Chain A
Amino acid sequence: MVDNGSIPLELLDPGNSDPGHWARFQARVMALAGPELARRRATRPLTVGEVLASWWRLLVPASVVAAAAMASLLMPAETTPGAGIAIEEALVAGVDDEPLPAVLVADQVDEVAFLVAIEGGG
């Protein structure tokens, strides 16, 4: 029966003659365990990460909505182009004399004419 001293115990393993045996066993156990696993998933306590994630999911859209509301409140009701005072106007406001044409026009700069204008004007 057992002539070489080794005992072929593997013959007792149903998976030895039927390769799919243990896969079917596993599938049966997992199918029967399904309701208990689902119950455990439903009743398990939340982790810190999951609590933070749930807050995050709530806070991000709320913040976006709040930011949009604040922005609409802070924006002026109506903006008219040209309402601000131009720098050039501010500089000449209240000055009676005519501005120096040579100084005001860059491509007509002439040192001599400029000095004459200064000296003459002074």
Chain B
Amino acid sequence: MDDATLVALARSGDGDAFGQLVTRYRRAAFLVALSVIGRPEDAEDAAQEAFLVALERLDDCRRPSRFGGWLMTIVRNRSNNLVRREALRATEQIPFSARSSTPTPEKEAQLSELRDEIARALGELPEVQRQIVLLHDLEGWKHREIAQRLGLPAGTVRSHLHYARKSLRKLLKPGE
């Protein structure tokens, strides 16, 4: 079922339809939030909040066939609000980090270290490049889909993706 049909059904309170929309966009929403906030726990909260706001404002979605792009705008806004709230609460800079606080076995510790390295490298990129590289390389969205959902020209998406990958490889190169 396409987005427009699911949105129409969800507008009349169809839980299954809304559930399908959540399934379709939950990881993308998380990744966009992560690219703004930098902390997985907060990114998840922002993504969750964005879905609930989207449901409440579903009647304002003027182009239901482009629900994904509309949702990502909400995710970015909620994430930016969260970052601003955090910034007011604490004066320290919010790092882009995916660190885990739970003790782990040796292999998990290595993975955790690698995860932190990647997160740190991503933190060096501009926000738009983080979003694009995560949505393309992790969520599997095509250039055209990213362009449509983030409201960017397709050529710009390709260019950002190219530079993002190049920067990440350089930042994660052994010995650097």
Shortest distance between the CB of A33 and any CB in chain B (Å): 5
A44 contacts B12, CB within 8 Å?
A: yes
B174 contacts A1, CB within 8 Å?
A: yes
Listed residue (B47, B48, B134) with the most chain A CB atoms within 10 angstroms of its CB: B48
Q: Is the interface of A mostly helix, strand, loop or mixed?
A: helix
Among the stretches A24-32, A80-88, A92-100, the one at the interface with B is A24-32
- Interchain CA distance A41-B115 in the complex, whole Å: 43
Q: Does A11 contact B (CB under 8 A)?
A: yes
Q: Does A110 contact B (CB under 8 A)?
A: no
Chain B residue, CB-CB nearest to A12: B98
- Residues from chain B with a CB closer than 8 A to the CB of A29 are 22, 26, 48, 51-52
Q: Does A39 contact B (CB under 8 A)?
A: yes
- Interchain CA distance A82-B13 in the complex, whole Å: 68
Q: Out of B14, B44, B56, which one reaches A25, CB within 8 Å?
A: B44
With A12-B98, A44-B13 already in contact, the answer to whether A7 and B114 are too (CB < 8 A) is no
- Residues from chain B with a CB closer than 8 A to the CB of A44 are 11-13
- Interchain CA distance A37-B14 in the complex, whole Å: 7
- Interchain CA distance A39-B59 in the complex, whole Å: 13
- Residues from chain A with a CB closer than 8 A to the CB of B30 are 14, 25
- Interchain CA distance A44-B26 in the complex, whole Å: 26
- Interchain CA distance A2-B167 in the complex, whole Å: 12
Mask for A36-69, Cβ within 8 A of B = 1, else 0?
A: 1111111010000000000000000000000000
Chain B residue, CB-CB nearest to A9: B138
B133 contacts A9, CB within 8 Å?
A: yes
Q: Does A89 contact B (CB under 8 A)?
A: no
With A9-B133, A10-B138, A12-B134 already in contact, the answer to whether A26 and B22 are too (CB < 8 A) is yes
Excluding A1-B172, A22-B26, A29-B22, 12 further A-B contacts by CB distance (< 8 Å) are A1-B173, A7-B137, A7-B172, A12-B34, A13-B27, A22-B27, A25-B47, A29-B52, A33-B52, A39-B13, A40-B10, A40-B11
Chain B residues within CB distance 8 Å of chain A: 10-15, 18-19, 22-23, 26-27, 30-31, 34, 40, 44, 47-48, 51-52, 55-56, 98, 108, 111, 114-115, 117-119, 122, 133-134, 137-138, 165, 168-169, 172-174
List 6 A–B pairs whose Cβ atoms lie within 8 Å, in order of A's numbering: A7-B168, A12-B34, A12-B118, A17-B108, A26-B23, A37-B13
Closest 4 pairs between A and B when the two form their complex, measured CB to CB: A41-B13, A40-B13, A44-B12, A2-B172
